[in-house]
Amino acid sequence: MTNGAIIETRGLKKTYRQGDMDVQALRGVDVQVQSGEFLAIVGPSGSGKSTLFHILGGLTPATEGDVLINGQELRGLSEAGRTELRRTTVSFVFQKYNLLPTLTVRDNIEIARDIAKKTGPLDPAFLKALDMLGIGHRLDHKPRALSGGEQQRVAIARAIVNGPAILLADEPTGNLDTENSTNVLGVLRDLNHTIGQTILMITHNPEAAAFADRIIEMRDGRVVKH
């Protein structure tokens, strides 16, 4: 690891095979993210932003290149190792909230703890975050009773409950109106400031990107602007 980066990629490539065609989603990506950073990634549709996230979170392996997460080399990690990575180190927030519809808000958060085999009282840092998220009064509701903004804040709570080193948010405000977007973005920024949560956020919206400390732009599977 160079100068304490929590994420470092070198010459990262990803090629998808689609029938006879090869789709080069990533053509050599080099990024470094410092611990505690709030980074926004922008770029046109199809430029490989989500693909980068999926590799960082172990949802799919890279075709070529190296990824270091928290000092750990991802190459050569088994399926089980990548699952473990998501359980302990990297967590996701998606545009589509992805809450379990049959469970209450509380249980949606609890299931993440259950998967990570965490028991006992909640972490003080998480309780602080829960305060910021402002969903305390909705804990016993099912997701469908919540507004989009509330659902996304539940998804954030679920993503950070186990204290992951890295939070990857793929267009977290993509489905939200301006007011809810501002609210969610504010929460992300506060999490970054108060508990030092490292956050990577994909967005199409320049106003959203402005909430981050740093913005990088991707185009055709490469990072074009740091």
Partner 1 sequence: MIYKLVYENLKHRPLRTLLSTLVIGVGVTMILTLVGMSEGTLNEQRKRARGIGADIFVMGSNSSVIGTGTASMNEGLVKFLESQPHIKVATGTVVHSIGTLKSITGADLDKFNRLNGGLKFVSGGTFVKDDDILIDEFYSRQEKKKVGDKLTLLNRDWRVAGVYQPGNAARVLLPLRVVQDLTSTQGKLTMIYAKLDDPANTEAVIAQLKSQLQDYKIFSMEELISQYTTNALPELQVFTKVVIGLSVFFGALMVFLAMYTAVLERTREIGILKSLGATPGYILGILLRETFLMSILGAIVGIGLSYVTRWVMMVLIPATFTQEIVYDWWPIAGLITMAGALLGVIYPAWKAATQDTLESLSYD
Ligand X SMILES: Nc1ncnc2c1ncn2[C@@H]1O[C@H](COP(=O)(O)OP(=O)(O)OP(=O)(O)O)[C@@H](O)[C@H]1O
Contacts with Mg ion by CB under 5 A lie at: 50
Q: Is 49 in the site for ligand X (CB under 6 A)?
A: yes
Q: Of the candidates 88, 173, 160, which has an alpha carbon nearest to the alpha carbon of residue 129?
A: 160
**Residue from 66, 110, 123, 217 that binds partner 1 (CB under 8 A)?**
110
CA–CA distance, 147 with 136 (Å, rounded to integer): 14
Q: Which of residues 47-86 bind partner 1 (CB under 8 A)?
A: 54, 57, 59-60, 80, 83-86
Q: Is 183 in the site for ligand X (CB under 6 A)?
A: no
Using a 10 angstrom Cβ sphere, with 0-12 exposed, 13-18 middle and 19 or more buried, the burial of residue 42 is: buried
Find the angle CA(71)-CA(74)-CA(76) to the nearest 5 degrees. Answer: 130
**Residue from 5, 8, 32, 47 that binds ligand X (CB under 6 A)?**
47
CA–CA distance, 40 with 210 (Å, rounded to integer): 8
Closest to ligand X by CB, 14 or 158: 14
**Residue from 18, 78, 102, 119 that binds ligand X (CB under 6 A)?**
18
What is the Cα gyration radius of the chain? 17
Q: Is 51 in the site for ligand X (CB under 6 A)?
A: yes
CA–CA distance, 42 with 106 (Å, rounded to integer): 33
Residues forming contacts to partner 1 in the complex (CB under 8 A) are 54, 57, 59-60, 80, 83-88, 91-92, 94, 98-103, 107, 110-116, 158
User: Contact residues for ligand X (CB under 6 A)?
Assistant: 16, 18, 23, 25, 43, 45-51
